[in-house]
Structure 1
Amino acid sequence: MTLAALFSGASGLAANSTALDVVGNNLANLNTTGYKTQRTLFRDQVYQLLDGGSAAGVTGSGGTNASQLGNGVTVGTIDTQFTQGAVNPTGRSLDAAISGNGFFVLRSPTGQLYSRAGNFDVDSSGFLVEPSTGNRIQRTGTAGEGSATLPGFQVAGNNDIRVPIGSGVPGVPTSNVTFRGNVSSKTAVGDPAVNLTPIQFFDSQSGSHTLSVSFTKTADNTYSVSATATDATVTLPPTSVTFDTSGKLLSPASLAISITGIAGAATQTVNLNFGTPGQSTGLTQTGDATDGAAVTQDGSGSGTLLSVSIDANGTIQGLSSNGRTVPVAQLAIASFNNQGGLIRAGTNTFSTGPGSGEPLIGSANTGGRGAISGGALEGAGVDIAVEFSRLIIAQRGFQVNARTISAANDTLQELANIIR
């Protein structure tokens, strides 16, 4: 019996020593980005059956319970607690934190890995990587692959994310010009054209030109429109712009013009937007001086990619020097049927295990995956108070099992003394 107590105490020392190791590792990773705490769960070991017990007798005698002797304790499991860590702003555009379920997807030389740590950087080749290992961050969807109006930063079929800072971003041809201001009602019928302040517009090759629009009064409250553009031919439909007796625009709200003859550029249609009929938000006609002007246009010239940011859906948005915001890529987010089955691979990463199932990869904010907080990192999910409590419990467990061994040793010593 005393020998059994020795072995039980030894198993208790080993199990509680492991618990101390786990707590120590948690506390050591108190400041590790995206770290998830572990906990140690014990289970008792195999039992020696001393008496199997008996059922109640037919003569009215009572039954007996089984008698078993335990053989100590062992570590049942060391599991991971995927509690949400605090999301702390960093102000760094390439940092990202997941609020909710999911993992960033990384490609390593040995296979695909998953991480909650979003401290990313761009390597010398322009790829988005985990800086301490060089593992490349993966994308999902077609964002950043380009279209007729968007630049292509990503290669179809390759999920490595490229962030080519300094690369060219094409412009957008102008399709709308908006006017504001007044046309003087004191203009006499047939007087020379009233010139509105011109504006710069852009063709399909990002070339810039000047568009000038003029009004000529043909009758009371009625004007014909003409337009010219540098290095181009402008064609207008035969439409008159009219105002009511209070000076508000009657018609038309807009006028579509055709611009041709720009060397190498496509023919483009530009809508001249004069305002909402019946309101004074666009062009008006009053007795004040003419100050009508083209105030905005929706085109842009070519530019270069200056910086990026990450939105809640995990889309990396690029800001160009021409003012355009264009999608660069969308971060892939993986979820699992049983994330507790993931295997820790070090360097803040996990790999799939037999109990985790295959990754379900998609975009943030879909399929139960969490949202992305750009310019922030998730802190470690270590609760110091809980860990100190576990530390004390494991320490006491170690102490009492050491006392068990000491007591068993004393008993054996007494037995040895009887022989003397």
Structure 2
Amino acid sequence: MASFYIPLTGLNADSTALNTIANNLSNMNTTGYKSQSVNFSDLFYQQVGEAGSGDPIQRGSGTQVCSIETDFSNGSPNTTNVDTNVALQGNGFFVVGNGDNTLLTRDGDFSLDLNGNLITSNGLNVMGFPATNGTVNTNAPLAPVHIPVGEVEPPSATNTFGMTATLNAAANVGDSLSGKIQVFDSLGNAYQAQVTYTKTATNTWSYNVTLPDTLAANSSSAGTMNTQVYNFGSSAGTPATVDPATSLTITAPNAGGISTTINAPGIVAGESVVTYAADLQSALTAAGITASVTATAAGQLTISGTNLTTSGSVIQDPVASATATGSLTFDSNGNLVSPSTDVTGITFSGLSDGASNMSMTWNLFGADGSSTLTQVVDQSSSVSSSTQNGFASGNYNSFTIGSDGTVTATFKNGQKLNVGQLALGNVVNLQGLEATGNGDYETTLASGTATIGVSGTSGLGTMQGGALEASNVNISAEFSELIIAQRAFEANSKAVTTFDTITQETINMIH
């Protein structure tokens, strides 16, 4: 009977509304959850006659759920300070997937798997654009975002350096100023490069760039016999030389068995390791110490003796190119006029660790064209700052996600490297998306294919690292809707009980 069927359609529709409200309330603390609302429409009509004017007389047949709409407005971002968390504000969805299955989600509660890939709470890969040597390629196919946990960033050799210095125009000819700057070779070893400025004439200075190379001793012993070996580097056809900063001290018993210490003899700039070894042998003999000092032109210094120990440093001068020395000329206003460009091709070869030859450019001019070297009267010569672009290797330390979705890894050597950029997707018809659970949505024919891009482009939103997007459920509004749905359900229930009473009375009339 229609009398029962009509309120039953209302009960069914009201039940769907109550279920939807209950689902909203149960997910009010679900990350990125979007609330839903139920819309009703009348079902269909049956014409039972016509009025005198010919107007149709129609009887309604109940109600139905015509749509359940999702509110895709933003939830508030809540700070968590967790590296793997990211909140999306504005249009779009994170792109996640597993193989060929690509889904969309607003749930940024990510974590890392055992391979260092960023994944969702249900194990899907977070997709993004890959980066090569720190440069993100947004034209490349999407790939899982990989965090280099446990990885080591390789070293980068210094190829440019700069120094901000003020030279005293009133200095005497022969006065000098030295400034040091740490640089790195291709293996990541650090050196203290030194630039020495020497006054040669009015408004004219010479410069000399040196790169001392401190050697580590390879030690061995056989009973009381100890041997120290220092391996110099060398370039083809060039004898290895000892730097005057060498401060080697040798201690060993003399002929009378008394422990005796000698300091290395004075070194002349550019002295070969062979000459240095001969001078050192002479000093040991003069002190009555029985020890052997030998050296090869290629650059191996060997010191052996009974109960012999060494301290201090042995330093070699790597072979420098001609451009490591030169002249600086200033005008009457103290501005550098020569060289008029940066000094290129400052090369050092023969490094003891076997690294590639270092080739550097000395940046004498800033981005605005002004020189980093100036000459001023009545000012003490000084070096105020220095810069260089090399670094040693470093282990992975942490990562951050920027507002544009760029994932930047930080290493323990202080360097930062972009390792990818989170991709965002959006569709024309949001209501056409199919919710699959776990905060994921799948595109359908109704929604259209997802358009993929990055934050800040094509109307896509921005991201906040270390935060999560809360649900957009409004508890006050849901309680109001709950009361309305409850009243509607009760009203339809009353209609059913009323029709039941009438039907019973009708049956009683028959009997």
TM range (shorter): 0.7 to 0.9
Alignment partner, residue 223 of structure 1: 205
1:134 lines up with 2:123 in the alignment: yes
Q: Check 1:109–1:220 CA distance in 2 against 1; reply closer, same or farther (3 A cut).
A: closer
- Which whole-Å deviations, capped at 9, do the CAs of 1:218-251 have from their partners, x for residues lacking one? 2112212221113341432875323455656555
Deviation, 1:21, is: 0.4
Identity %: 33
Q: Could you tell which deviates more after superposition, 33-42 or 228-237?
A: 228-237
Helix, strand or coil: the match of 2:158? coil
Q: In structure 2, what is the Cα distance between the partners aligned to 1:291 and 1:119?
A: 53
Q: Check 1:6–1:232 CA distance in 2 against 1; reply closer, same or farther (3 A cut).
A: farther
Question: Counterpart of 2:205 in structure 1: which amino acid?
Answer: Y
Q: 1:155-304 to 2 correspondence within 5 Å?
A: 159-189=143-173, 191=174, 194-230=176-212, 231-236=318-323, 240-245=327-332, 247=334, 249=336, 252=339, 255-257=342-344, 258-261=346-349, 262=351, 263-273=354-364, 282-292=373-383, 295-304=386-395
1:5 lines up with 2:3 in the alignment: yes
- Which whole-Å deviations, capped at 9, do the CAs of 1:317-374 have from their partners, x for residues lacking one? 1111122211111112111121211111111111122311112122222222111111
- Which whole-Å deviations, capped at 9, do the CAs of 1:4-58 have from their partners, x for residues lacking one? 22211111111101100000000100010000111111121121111256xxxxx
Deviation, 1:417, is: 3.6
The answer to whether the 8 A contact 2:159-2:358 is kept is no
Q: Give the one of 2, 18, 21 matched to 2:19.
A: 21
- Which whole-Å deviations, capped at 9, do the CAs of 1:187-209 have from their partners, x for residues lacking one? 322x25x1322111123443322
Q: In structure 2, what is the Cα distance between the partners aligned to 1:187 and 1:14?
A: 98
Q: Check 1:225–1:21 CA distance in 2 against 1; reply closer, same or farther (3 A cut).
A: same
**Which runs of 5 or more structure 1 residues have no equivalent in the other structure?**
54-61
Indicate the RMSD between aligned Cα atoms, in angstroms: 2.7
Deviation, 1:164, is: 2.0
Q: Check 1:248–1:278 CA distance in 2 against 1; reply closer, same or farther (3 A cut).
A: farther
Q: In structure 2, what is the Cα distance between the partners aligned to 1:89 and 1:250?
A: 55
Deviation, 1:186, is: 4.1
1:410 lines up with 2:501 in the alignment: yes
Question: Counterpart of 1:124 in structure 2: which amino acid?
Answer: L
- Under a length normalisation based on structure 2, what TM-score does the superposition of the two structures give? 0.72
Helix, strand or coil: the match of 2:492? helix
Alignment partner, residue 461 of structure 2: 370
Q: Could you tell which deviates more after superposition, 242-251 or 207-216?
A: 242-251
- Which whole-Å deviations, capped at 9, do the CAs of 1:99-133 have from their partners, x for residues lacking one? 11111111236822211011111111211111x32
Alignment partner, residue 44 of structure 2: 46
Q: Could you tell which deviates more after superposition, 79-88 or 206-215?
A: 206-215
Q: Check 1:253–1:89 CA distance in 2 against 1; reply closer, same or farther (3 A cut).
A: farther
Question: Counterpart of 1:180 in structure 2: which amino acid?
Answer: T
Q: 1:346-385 to 2 correspondence within 5 Å?
A: 346-385=437-476
Deviation, 1:293, is: 5.5
Deviation, 1:419, is: 3.4
The answer to whether the 8 A contact 2:208-2:324 is kept is no
Alignment partner, residue 259 of structure 2: none
1:120 lines up with 2:110 in the alignment: yes
Question: Counterpart of 1:259 in structure 2: which amino acid?
Answer: T
Alignment partner, residue 58 of structure 1: none
Q: In structure 1, what is the Cα distance between the partners aligned to 2:36 and 2:340?
A: 66
- Which structure shows the higher strand fraction? 2
1:391 lines up with 2:482 in the alignment: yes
Question: Counterpart of 1:49 in structure 2: which amino acid?
Answer: Q
Corresponding pairs, count: 399
Helix, strand or coil: the match of 1:164? coil
Q: In structure 2, what is the Cα distance between the partners aligned to 1:21 and 1:375?
A: 33
Q: Check 1:386–1:253 CA distance in 2 against 1; reply closer, same or farther (3 A cut).
A: farther
Helix, strand or coil: the match of 2:144? coil
Question: Counterpart of 2:485 in structure 1: which amino acid?
Answer: A
Q: Check 1:296–1:387 CA distance in 2 against 1; reply closer, same or farther (3 A cut).
A: same
Q: In structure 1, what is the Cα distance between the partners aligned to 2:21 and 2:360?
A: 69
Q: Check 1:232–1:29 CA distance in 2 against 1; reply closer, same or farther (3 A cut).
A: farther
Helix, strand or coil: the match of 2:484? helix
Q: Check 1:392–1:196 CA distance in 2 against 1; reply closer, same or farther (3 A cut).
A: same
Q: Check 1:183–1:109 CA distance in 2 against 1; reply closer, same or farther (3 A cut).
A: closer
Q: Give the one of 52, 55, 58 matched to 1:65.
A: 55
Q: In structure 1, what is the Cα distance between the partners aligned to 2:20 and 2:366?
A: 69
The answer to whether the 8 A contact 2:49-2:56 is kept is yes
Q: Check 1:51–1:111 CA distance in 2 against 1; reply closer, same or farther (3 A cut).
A: same
- Which whole-Å deviations, capped at 9, do the CAs of 1:254-286 have from their partners, x for residues lacking one? 641421314441552322436699989754433
The answer to whether the 8 A contact 1:117-1:377 is kept is yes
Q: In structure 1, what is the Cα distance between the partners aligned to 2:195 and 2:494?
A: 98
Q: Could you tell which deviates more after superposition, 22-31 or 78-87?
A: 78-87
Q: Check 1:346–1:413 CA distance in 2 against 1; reply closer, same or farther (3 A cut).
A: same
Q: Check 1:50–1:102 CA distance in 2 against 1; reply closer, same or farther (3 A cut).
A: same
Q: Could you tell which deviates more after superposition, 236-245 or 8-17?
A: 236-245
